[in-house]
Amino acid sequence: MIRYTLKCPEGHSFESWFRNADAFDALAADGRLRCPRCGTDRIEKSLMTPDVRPARAQPPARLSPDTEREKAIAALKRKVETEGEYVGLGFAQEARAIHGGDAPKRPIYGEAKPEEAIALIEDGVPVAPLPFTPTRKTN
C-alpha cells in the first residue's frame, strides 16, 4: 500500500491510499478519482514528504563489567550457574528436601516467593538471596 497526498485544480488537498503507483495511475486515467470537496475528477499527486522513521538510538554496548563490585557479581554469577543446579520455582521445596535429607546434598539455586524464603530462614534452612537475576533455564 502507498499513501499519496493529492490535489485538484481548485487547490483542495487530501490523502488517499492505493495498492501501488500503477493503481493510482489507472484510477486517475479512468476519471474514477474525485476531490471530496468540489467533486472534480482532475486529480494529481501533490508534492509530499516521505514518511521516514527516525533511526533508533542504540544503547552503548557494555563489553565488560566496569566496577570491582560488578566484576565480583559477574564472577559469582558464573560460579553459581556453573557449579549449582537451577531448580527454578521449586527452589523452596528442593531446599527443604536437601536440608531434611530427602534429596542428595548439592548446590542449588532458583526462585522463591518472599514468604517461602522467610519460612526457609525461620526453619533453619541455610539460604541466601543472590545479588543477580539467574539466567532462566528451560527444558
How many separate domains does the chain show? Answer: 2
List pLDDT tens digits, range 62-94: 666 678 998 899 899 999 999 999 999 999 999
pLDDT, residue 59, reads 74
State how far the Cα of 78 lies from the Cα of 63, in Å rounded to an integer.
16
**pTM of the predicted model as reported, rounded to 2 decimal places:** 0.51
Q: Is 37 a domain residue?
A: yes
Across 56-62, average pLDDT? 74
Question: In which domain, by residue range, is 74 found?
Answer: 68-122
End-to-end, the C-alpha distance of the chain in Å comes to 42
Q: Is 138 a domain residue?
A: no
Whether 6 contacts 44, CB under 8 Å: yes
The single residue listed with the C-alpha cell 486529480 is: 43
Q: Quick one: 78 and 112 in the same domain?
A: yes
Q: Count CA atoms within 13 Å of residue 65 on its CB side.
A: 11
Q: Pairing mode, if any, of strands 13-18 and 2-7?
A: antiparallel
Q: Is 52 a domain residue?
A: no
Whether 130 contacts 86, CB under 8 Å: no
State how far the Cα of 46 lies from the Cα of 7, in Å rounded to an integer.
6
Mean pLDDT of the chain: 89
Q: Is 108 a domain residue?
A: yes
Which of these ranges, 29-43, 57-71, 97-111, has the smallest mean pLDDT?
Answer: 57-71
Q: Is 53 a domain residue?
A: no
Q: Which three cell numbers stand for residue 66?
A: 566496569
